[in-house]
Structure 1
Amino acid sequence: MSSLQRLNKDFEEMQKNPPPLCTAGPTDDDIYQWEAIIIGPPETPYQGGHFKLKITFPKDYPFKPPNVIFNTQIFHPNISKNGSTCLDILKHEWKVLYGISQVLLAVTGLLDDPNPDSCLNSEAGNLYKNNREAFNKKASEMTKKYAVIN
């Protein structure tokens, strides 16, 4: 299956059966550039937020993983201030059978269950480990400021 065929299949899957709390699709006329929106999971400091992500697929997708960047500011141990993520499945754990649904489920899972031992944002990681109440407060405040649609 070619890269283009796989992306079309992923797009059809997103139309028919999107993962919970997620939407995604190509931007403009470029099937290799997508925008996704993830709704912050309930009972997390991200609840109620609409987080925009930019997803760039390489020309040799699905043999190489997409690049996923948060366009919406977020306070999270595993998401850098420039929006990059540290997810194993987007690096060394990538498998050809993964599609955009699995990627979005993994990102949503990261919002629900951060990994403070693999930080891209040390301030968020330290707060998460040492003062969960302060972490939740700051993450919730940033969600309200940058991700809540009025």
Structure 2
Amino acid sequence: MVKYKARMMSEYRQMLEDPPPNTSIKLVNNSLTHWEVTIIGPQDTVYAGGEFKLDIQFPWNYPFRTPRIRFKTKIYHCNVDENGIFCKNEFERNWFARQHIYCILVTMNSMLVKCDPTDAYNADIAAQYMQKREEFDKIALDWTRRYADAFRIDS
């Protein structure tokens, strides 16, 4: 248990000192095992300027198990279900104990640049992303403005 706490403290400090781009973090109820992360949607994407809040809870056996990640902010994305659960099959398949939360957050940032329709929670949104991209972009941009408090980049 001591190693677990030391690991959590180390990762938390790393995130405060050198977070991934457009990412900020705070502890929920001063708990090292429960974080609220905010990711600002990357420029030149339909998520640009949106503030996407994530709830991350670390299991008691972290880093041997992946953390639970949930979008608190509603997002139109094929890899996120209606409850905000991120399709983390890729994390679970390729997870190893020396991996850090930093890597997960870099992945979360990159998923806002490009969806992964091959690992989708929502097949309809994935199909729309691949076949009717303009329609997907319009809806995702609308949701970003509506739910993620996006400021207007083009003003």
Conserved? CA contact 1:88–1:94, under 8 Å: no
Deviation at 1:102, TM superposition (A): 0.8
Deviation at 1:42, TM superposition (A): 1.2
The whole-number CA distance in structure 1 between the counterparts of 2:93 and 2:140 is 28
The whole-number CA distance in structure 2 between the counterparts of 1:54 and 1:138 is 24
**Aligned partner of residue 138 in structure 2, secondary structure:** helix
Deviation at 1:15, TM superposition (A): 1.1
Aligned residue in 2 for 1:31: 32
Conserved? CA contact 1:35–1:52, under 8 Å: yes
Aligned residue in 2 for 1:107: 108
* Amino acid of the structure 2 residue aligned with 1:29: N
Cα gap change, 1:89 to 1:25, in 2 (>3 Å): farther
Q: Which runs of 5+ in 2 are unaligned?
A: none
In percent, how many aligned pairs have the same letter?
A: 32
**Aligned partner of residue 109 in structure 1, secondary structure:** helix
- CA RMSD in angstroms comes to 1.4
**Aligned partner of residue 92 in structure 1, secondary structure:** helix
**Aligned partner of residue 72 in structure 1, secondary structure:** coil
Q: Which moved more, 1:9-18 or 1:21-30?
A: 21-30
Whether 2:25 is the aligned partner of 1:11: answer no
Cα gap change, 1:4 to 1:22, in 2 (>3 Å): same
Whether 2:15 is the aligned partner of 1:20: answer no
Deviation at 1:87, TM superposition (A): 3.0
Pairs within 5 Å for 1:102-141: 102-141=103-142
The whole-number CA distance in structure 1 between the counterparts of 2:52 and 2:119 is 21
Deviation at 1:26, TM superposition (A): 1.6
* Amino acid of the structure 2 residue aligned with 1:40: G
TM-score by length of 1: 0.94
The whole-number CA distance in structure 2 between the counterparts of 1:63 and 1:2 is 12
Conserved? CA contact 1:89–1:95, under 8 Å: no
Aligned residue in 1 for 2:67: 66
The whole-number CA distance in structure 2 between the counterparts of 1:96 and 1:48 is 33
Aligned residue in 1 for 2:96: 95
Deviation at 1:31, TM superposition (A): 1.4
Whether 2:50 is the aligned partner of 1:49: answer yes
* Moved >2 Å (runs of 4+): 87-90
Conserved? CA contact 2:89–2:119, under 8 Å: no
